[in-house]
Amino acid sequence: MRVLVAMSGGVDSSVAAALLLDEGHDVVGVTLKLWGGESDSGCCSVSDVDDARRVADRLGVEHHVFNFEIDFSARVVEPYVADHLAGRTPNPCIECNRHLKFDRLLERARVLGFDAVATGHHARVVRRADGTRRVARGADRAKDQSYVLHMLDQAALARCRFPIGDRTKDAVRDEAQRRGLRTAAKPDSQDLCFIRSTEGRRRFVERRAALTPGRLVDLDGHVVGGVPAVELVTVGQRRGLGAGGDGTRRFAIAVDVPQATVLVGAEADMTVPVQPLEGVTWAAGRPPSGPVQVQCSAHGAPRPGWVEVDAPAPAGAARALVRWRQPERRVAPGQAVVVYEGDEVAGGGVASAAPPPPAPSGASPA
């Protein structure tokens, strides 16, 4: 089998390529050049490309660089800024996986005659009795990345390989050390590749769009403070929002950018019985019918609930509703919400705004 391995310059993809070679596959490594601007973190730095190339040399496989900068800007960076301007909290790494590391790369691999694409994700692909495939959690629960792969459909899953999904991170590093790979002790990438560590989110966004000072409004309709940039407030945020008159901490419940307003309340006001989703996809083409576990952040604890399917939105976007077993914290609009049946990903979508808590009787307008 001819396999194109996405080599980020990290230990996981390095070992993935090595394991595929052991299985007798015809392996070629590729590093994606995604971000054309300055970068000192993530997986787009010059040193990462060099590490990937030198690992490929060590393994005796070809290595190439694909330039996807235009697609990355259009599919990841521009939507990242646009989401902030709409009061949403984007997840650019998921959009990068969706549009670049799988959709675009799988198509390029097909054109070049490869049978499969492999990555160093800590996840597995399992085949069910009915012949359908699903993403499943990796063996190392602390490093599991199935959450960020929830959008992969049946066509993609048939051509994806995750060679290290059945190994722990420690085992991957041990394997890299045994093989003398230069990435064996390399730290995991933690930051967004397109935002410099010395710059930060605010400076990145405000260099591309005007940010608006906003006001904090409580559930009684009273203005209780302000924020320097309403676009950068995340639902669930506590830092920078002060305390109520009784000393209780305030949390961001909803963000209204057109009105330059952040609705704030106590921690108890953060819980909701349901969480609406948009842009929903299901691994088997249909939602699960029974109880599920729902994960709302990359390494968050799963929450029990059920899924109800809405009628399509006017624009045709698939919608669904997660009904919690008991009220749970709101999910920031824009964040991925992934549905599991056991260890298998049943599907997922993007959180949209949950209804705010009712205002106390007699509350004055903001």
The last residue of a domain, from among 265, 280, 311:
265
Among 90, 23, 5, 80, CA closest to 351: 90
**Which pLDDT score, from 0 to 100, does residue 247 have?**
79
**Which pLDDT score, from 0 to 100, does residue 78 have?**
96
Same domain flag for 129 and 249:
no
From 93, 96, 160, 296, active-site residue? 96
22 in any annotated domain: yes
Q: How many domains does the chain have?
A: 3
The last residue of a domain, from among 125, 155, 178:
178
Q: Is 178 helix (H, G, I), strand (E, B) or coil?
A: helix
136 in any annotated domain: yes
Cα–Cα distances (Å) from 255 to 92, 156, 260, in that order, read 20, 36, 8
Contact assessment for residue 25 and residue 2, using Cβ atoms and an 8 Å cutoff? yes
160 in any annotated domain: yes
- The CA distance from 364 to 135, in Å, is 49
Contact assessment for residue 242 and residue 250, using Cβ atoms and an 8 Å cutoff? yes
191 in any annotated domain: no
Same domain flag for 293 and 160:
no
362 in any annotated domain: no
Cα–Cα distances (Å) from 113 to 2, 31, 61, 118, 300, in that order, read 8, 18, 17, 14, 38
28 in any annotated domain: yes
pTM of the model: 0.91
Same domain flag for 41 and 143:
yes
185 in any annotated domain: no
Q: CATH no. for residue 250?
A: 2.30.30.280
Residue 366, pLDDT above cutoff 50: no
Among 28, 32, 365, 10, CA closest to 194: 32
Tokens of 95: 């959009």
Provide CB contacts within 8 A for 257, sequence distance 6+: 85, 86, 87, 212, 230, 231
Question: Which residues form the domain of 110?
Answer: 2-178
Residue 35, pLDDT above cutoff 90: no
Q: In the annotation, is 93 catalytic?
A: no
Q: In the annotation, is 296 catalytic?
A: no
Q: pLDDT above 70 covers what percent of the chain?
A: 93
**Which pLDDT score, from 0 to 100, does residue 40 have?**
56
Report phi then psi at 315, rounded to 5: -80, 0
From 44, 93, 193, 296, active-site residue? 193
Same domain flag for 234 and 122:
no
pLDDT band for 192, please (50, 70, 90 cuts). confident
Same domain flag for 290 and 310:
yes
Same domain flag for 95 and 239:
no
Choose the weakest-confidence range: 41-45, 74-78, 178-182, 232-236: 41-45
Same domain flag for 132 and 24:
yes
Q: In what order do the strands lie in the sheet with 2-6?
A: 62-67, 26-33, 2-6, 116-118, 160-161
- The CA distance from 112 to 259, in Å, is 50
- Cα 115 to its chain centre, rounded Å, is 26
Tokens of 222: 């009273």
Q: CATH no. for residue 340?
A: 2.40.30.10
Same domain flag for 166 and 215:
no
Give residue-wise pLDDT tens across range 203-252: 999 999 999 999 999 999 999 999 999 999 999 999 989 887 777 899 99
Q: How many contiguous H segments (helices) and E segments (strands) does the chain have?
A: 9, 17
pLDDT band for 309, please (50, 70, 90 cuts). confident
Beta bridge partners of 275: 322
- The CA distance from 219 to 72, in Å, is 40
**Which pLDDT score, from 0 to 100, does residue 313 have?**
47
**Which pLDDT score, from 0 to 100, does residue 289 have?**
87
Give residue-wise pLDDT tens across range 81-129: 999 999 999 999 999 999 999 999 999 999 999 999 999 999 999 999 9
- The CA distance from 322 to 275, in Å, is 5
The last residue of a domain, from among 265, 284, 305:
265
**Which pLDDT score, from 0 to 100, does residue 104 have?**
94
Same domain flag for 22 and 66:
yes
Same domain flag for 258 and 309:
no
Same domain flag for 148 and 172:
yes
148 in any annotated domain: yes
Same domain flag for 172 and 279:
no
**Which pLDDT score, from 0 to 100, does residue 194 have?**
84
